[in-house]
Amino acid sequence: MAEINRAIKGTNDMLPADSHKFQFVEGKMLEIASLYGFREIRVPVFEHTEVFQRSVGDTTDVVQKEMYTFDDKGGRSITLRPELTAGVVRSVIEHGLVNGALPVKVCYVGGCYRYEKPQAGRLREFHQFGVECFGATSPAADAEVISLALQVLQTVGIKNISLEINSIGCPECRKNYTAALSEYFASHVDTLCETCRDRLSRNPMRILDCKSPICSKIAKNAPKVIDFLCDECQEHFDGVKAHLDAAGIKYTVNPQIVRGLDYYTKTVFEFVSGDIGAQSTVCGGGRYDGLVSQMGGPAVSALGFGMGIERLMLALENQNAEFPEVKKCDIYIAPMGETAAIKATELCTALRRDGFEAQCDVCGRGLKAQMKYADKIGALYSVVLGDNELAENKCNIKNMKTGETQEIRLDNFSEQFMKIKLDDALSSLEDTII
């Protein structure tokens, strides 16, 4: 097959049979976020490359290996966003949102792009849901964001999840930790992979993120950042745990959690599922108090999380989660002849304006083919419209499930259909109760 007829490796088409599932999940995400006061923000798919170099960090795999970067026609270096936090921070700085009432709470759903080996739940084009909260320094804010993430996961139907938390401290208390890490990894420098040998002098914390089995094994015995927290960071972490306890949220302190992105400070957390294989994290987040000022804005604290939607959907699929059924066609009008076809268009227009999904023939098919199509799309009701129906200004409407028919006039058709559908729904409810 020609390449023009194949999706690019690492990308997926979202077909109509599955799109309603994504719409349900994304709708619930935004709905839950609004309960916590988060409002949706939309930022461009691409930014100046420096936005990600300054925020994500030039020692990370994301910047060094995974970004889709190119020069545009004006010679500017442009990058497709590998994550959304950096773009959101750029936006709130540019539009002065952090100069107003704090905290600023925003949420988003959008596509991201990373050049990495495609695998289950990890694609080169993927979608994220996330939230960002600016201007809140209290441990209560950390617990609130974690609570929001948990409620989203529970609402969409994720089971078998656990929360793991850690603190990676502030830049000050990490100085001693970085020194200890450097000393530890220096004793293993001959065994580390080439990338991690470079990280050793630039940012040894990145070695803890290495996917190499050899480096991962060495990292297991490395010093733990939680043992190097300053008094302020320890107090903050204790506060986060106290608020989680008050909210009844169970968690495990996992000293191995760090971040591959340089802007994180203090609290980091992950929600882990046992139903998506090796890549088990369905949500990751934390605090990044220095990022806004690092990108040229005021010294405003910030925190948030990102949730991979494809990875989440994989977990739901593996758990045989139930989704709402696809909305079916309310009524199919089958015209016979050109005059009836024009009338069908008129009726469908009125029905759609009243909120019904109405369809009629647009392929010039015969009656038998039309009724076969109406059955395939799961139409709840059908009407056959011909010369007799037009002459008498009435027709028979058929309940496709029961086979029952009722006579209905063509004038005020939509109002009469609404009454028929309501009566049938009430009758069905009564039968269920009985």
Give the pLDDT of residue 262.
Answer: 62
pLDDT one-digit tens code per residue, 307-339: 999 999 988 988 888 898 888 999 999 999 999
How is the chain split into domains, by residue range?
3-170+230-318, 331-422
As beta bridge partners, residue 397 has 383, 406
Task: Enter the tokens of residue 151.
Answer: 């409620």
Give the pLDDT of residue 345.
Answer: 97
pLDDT one-digit tens code per residue, 346-386: 999 999 999 999 999 999 999 999 999 999 999 999 999 99
Task: Enter the tokens of residue 424.
Answer: 């049938």
Q: Which DSSP string do the residues of 46-63 spell out, in sequence order?
A: EEEHHHHHHHT-TTSHII
Q: Residue 56 in contact with residue 262, Cβ under 8 Å?
A: yes
Q: How far apart (Å, rounded) are the C-alpha atoms in residues 164 and 157?
A: 19
Give the pLDDT of residue 349.
Answer: 97
Just give the CATH number of 331-422.
Answer: 3.40.50.800
Q: Residue 121 in contact with residue 279, Cβ under 8 Å?
A: yes
Q: Which one-letter amino acid corresponds to residue 173?
A: C
pLDDT one-digit tens code per residue, 384-404: 999 999 999 999 999 999 999
Just give the CATH number of 3-170+230-318.
Answer: 3.30.930.10
Does the fold of domain 331-422 match that of domain 3-170+230-318? no
For residue 212, is pLDDT > 90? no
For residue 231, is pLDDT > 90? yes
Ramachandran angles phi, psi of 21, nearest 5° = -70, -45
Burial class (CB in 10 A: 0-12, 13-18, 19+), 405: middle
pLDDT one-digit tens code per residue, 243-294: 999 999 999 999 888 875 666 899 999 999 876 655 578 999 999 998 999 8
Burial class (CB in 10 A: 0-12, 13-18, 19+), 180: middle
Angle between helices 413-433 and 338-353 in degrees, nearest 10: 60
Of 104, 130, 126, nearest to 30 by C-alpha is: 130
Q: Which one-letter amino acid corresponds to residue 102?
A: L
Give 358's DSSP letter: E
Give the pLDDT of residue 279.
Answer: 57
For residue 54, is pLDDT > 90? no
Q: How far apart (Å, rounded) are the C-alpha atoms in residues 369 and 365?
A: 6
CA angle in degrees (0–180, nearest 5) for 330-332-336: 165
- The pTM (predicted TM-score) of the whole model is 0.87
Q: How far apart (Å, rounded) are the C-alpha atoms in residues 391 and 300?
A: 73
Q: Which one-letter amino acid corresponds to residue 269?
A: F
Distances (CA, A) of 137 to 105, 109, 227, 236, 248: 13, 25, 22, 9, 22
